[in-house]
Amino acid sequence: MIDSVEILGFVAATLTTAAFLPQVYKTWKTKSAESLSLSMLLIFVTGVSCWLGYGLLIKSLPIILCNLITLISGFLLLYFKIRYKN
C-alpha cells in the first residue's frame, strides 16, 4: 500500500510538473516572454534533460514521466523566448 509520505511525493511531483503549464499558456497567449530569463530556460532544460536521463537509467517511471512533460514545457518556453524576441 502507498503510505502518506509517498502520496506527498506524488503530490509534489504533480504540482512541480503542472506548474509550467500555465506559464506556457500565458506566454503563448500574450506572445510575450520578455521577463523570462533565457539563462534560466537554458539551465532548466539542460537540468530536466539530465533528470530524464537519470530516470531512464534507474528505470523510474514517475521521474521519466514528470521530466518528459516538464521538458516539453521547457522547450516550448525556450521556443517562445526566441520566437517572441522582436
Q: Where on the chain is the footprint of a second copy (CB under 8 A)? A: 5, 8-9, 11-23, 25-27, 30, 32-37, 39-41, 43-44, 46-48, 50-51, 53-54, 57-58
Q: How many whole angstroms from its chain centre is CA 71? A: 5
- Least separation in angstroms between residue 86's CB and a second copy is 15
Considering the complex, state which of residue 40 and residue 82 has its C-beta at the smaller distance from a second copy: 40
Provide the phi-psi class of 65: left if phi over 0, else alpha when psi is between -120 and 50, else beta: alpha
CB of 22 to a second copy, least distance (A): 4
Answer yes or no: are the C-beta atoms of 76 and 24 closer than 8 Å.
yes
